[in-house]
Amino acid sequence: MKILMVLTSHDQLGNTGEKTGFWLEEFAAPYYVFRDAGVELVLASPKGGQPPLDPKSSAAASQTAATTRFNADAAAMAQLAATQVLSQVSADDFDALFYPGGHGPLWDLAEDKDSIALIESFIAQGKPIAAVCHAPAVLRHVKAANGDYLVAGKRVTGFSNAEEGAVGLTQVVPFLLEDMLKANGGNYIAGAMWQSHVVQDGLLITGQNPASSEACAQVLLEQL
């Protein structure tokens, strides 16, 4: 079994002068769910190489068993530092696709033509995709075979407007994830703030927040 994990290459938090990127827990927890199950993992990002880490996700309050394990795992860190260039990977070579969140994907992956085409190819081949927290942003421009938005009529979740407000970034992000999913016809379902909440609708699996990352990966594995 082979899963592709796609991370952001974007490191600027709007015009705040602060850094962003991917959220460590949302990468580390799924990484070990997959690796411990014997899955072959390939990592990619739009620019390739080391993806930017949101510095806030390295704060003590954001650490979990998975992030602690990752920070002591030289092989995993080396793999992360050498992500493949997204334009050079093909859905043909994988069984499933997983997107970790962080605010970065709102800027790059949401608009990335290679990512959009990749997701459409996975769906066309009947292969599941999962995205957690802000990563459902990658679905913004993805279309189904009938030309409708992929999320139209589907049950989905992702970082809620309430959670974005709680972290004080409502006016910083390029769009609110919950609003986008609803505008594209998705049946957005919110769970409790900061609690694990995963929604599956066919081949599409979405998790609401960092607490949902492990469960989101487990649902993807079960789908496979």
Task: Identify which of 112, 191, 111, 122 has the alpha carbon closest to the alpha carbon of residue 130.
Answer: 122
What pTM was estimated for this model as a whole?
0.98
Burial of 42 per CB tally in 10 Å (0-12, 13-18, 19+) = middle
> Span 190-219, mean pLDDT?
98
pLDDT digits (tens, 9 = 90+) for 125-155: 999 999 999 999 999 999 999 999 999 999 9
Domains of the chain: 2-223 (3.40.50.880)
pLDDT digits (tens, 9 = 90+) for 71-112: 999 999 999 999 999 999 999 999 999 999 999 999 999 999
Kind plus residue range of the DSSP H or E element containing 123? helix 113-124
Q: Are 49 and 112 in contact (CB under 8 A)?
A: no
